[in-house]
Structure 1
Amino acid sequence: MQIVMNTPAARHFDAAVLSRAAVAQGRRPAGVGSVRTLDKDEELFAEGDPAVSFYRVTQGVVRTSKLLSDGRRQIDAFHFPGDVFGVEAGAEHRFSAEAASAATVVAYRRRDLDDLLFDETFSREVLGAMMHALERAQRHMLLLGRKSAIEKIATFLVDMAERLAGADAVELPMSRLDIADHLGLTIETVSRSLTELERKGIIDVPASRRTIVLRDKAALARLNG
C-alpha cells in the first residue's frame, strides 16, 4: 500500500535543479541523488552500517527502528514523502530503516553535502525537514513516557491525520504491529484501544482494518492533550 504526496518539500528536492544551481554559481554539481525502490519490509540500511548517505522519501513510508537488548523493537519514526532521514552526526547509522509500505527514496551522498547545502532551496528544505523531525521526536518521547494506551492511540491518529492533510479517513500504511512497536504497546493493546474508541463513537474501523474513519476529531484532540 503506497501513499503519494505532492508536498512542497517533495517538489523542492529535485536533483536536476540542485545541479543547475551549482553550475550557475560556478561550483561542481553535487552528485545527483540515486533513486531506490523498496518492497514492503525491505531493509534500506541496518543499525551500525556506515552512514555514507542520507535519504528523502518520495513515495510510500519508511520506518526507522532500533532493536533493544531484550529483543524488542522500538520504532522511533515513520517517514512520509518529503521527509529527510538518515542524517547522522557520527560515521554509523544509529537506527535501521525499512519500508513500512512499498516505497521510493532518493539517496544523497554525505560527501556531497557541502555542495548540496550551497543551494538555498535545498538547505532550507533540509533544515525544515530536520526541525519537523525533531519536533515529532520530542512529542514521541512525551507520548511514550506519560500517556495511557488510549491517549497514545489518539495521539497517533491525530498525527497521522495531520500528516495526511487533515483527512477524516486515514488509510494507515503501516501494520498494527508497527503501530504497537512505535507506541510501546502490545498488538493486543492496540486492537483493544481501537475497539474502545470505536465503541465510544470516536472512530470507525471498516472491514479493511487499514482505514480509520475519524468521526469525532474533537474527542481525539482532547485525548491527545
Structure 2
Amino acid sequence: MTKPHNALYERPASLALLGDVAGLDVLDAGCGSGIVSQILADAGARVRAFDVTPEMVELARKRCEGLDVEIREADFRHPLDWMPDASVDRILCSLALDYVEQLETVFREFARIARAGGLLVFSMSHPMRDWMDSSTHGGKSYFETNRWGTHWTGFGRPYPYVESYRRPLQDILNPLTASGWCLDRFVEPLPAPEMKTTDARHFAELSHMPGFICIRARK
C-alpha cells in the first residue's frame, strides 16, 4: 500500500528491523499487493510470499514479474505445508496478524520454517491505541480479546467491511515466546519526516501517539 500509514510509517520501521536481506531466503507472510516482496527482491532476497485474497495474489504476481519471488494463495489458519522445515532466514509479516485469532498457531508455524538464528519481524495495531478507541473494544475490558469490524474508506467504493481482533499486549508477546521465539526488539514507530508534507494531520497524531507496534524476534 502506498498510503502514508504504510509507506511513511509502518513499512520503514519494519524493514529497518529486518535489516540486510541480500542473499537470504525471506517469507513475506500476508504480502498484499506485493510492494514489500518487490522491495525485498530488489534488495537481493529470494522471496516466497502468500496472501489469502486471490485478487491481491494476482496483483503481487504482476508487480513482481521477473523477480526472484514465488507467490501463492494461502491462509494463516492452515499450515504452511509447502514450506519445508528450517527453510527461511527471515520472516516479515506486515499488519496481517490483527486478522488472525490464534496467534500461537501462526508463531509456531513460523518457528518451524525458520532456520536457527532466523528473524521474525511483524507489525500490528498498537494495543493501547486500539483500547483508547471505543469503536474497537466493543465494551469489553482491555484484557479481553474481541472481534470488531469497520468499513475501510481509503480504497474506493464500495467501502469493504473488514473484521479484525483487538487484544492486550500480553496476548501478543506470550504466544510469541511460547512458540520458541525470543523477543529481540520492540518498536513504537514515529512517522517519517516526509509524512508531514503528504499527510500533516496523521503526522501530528502519530508523532504524539503510536498507531502500530513493530516487533523483532529471534529463533
TM-score, reference length from structure 1:
0.30
Report which of the two has the higher share of strand.
Answer: 2
Larger radius of gyration: 1
TM-score, reference length from structure 2:
0.31
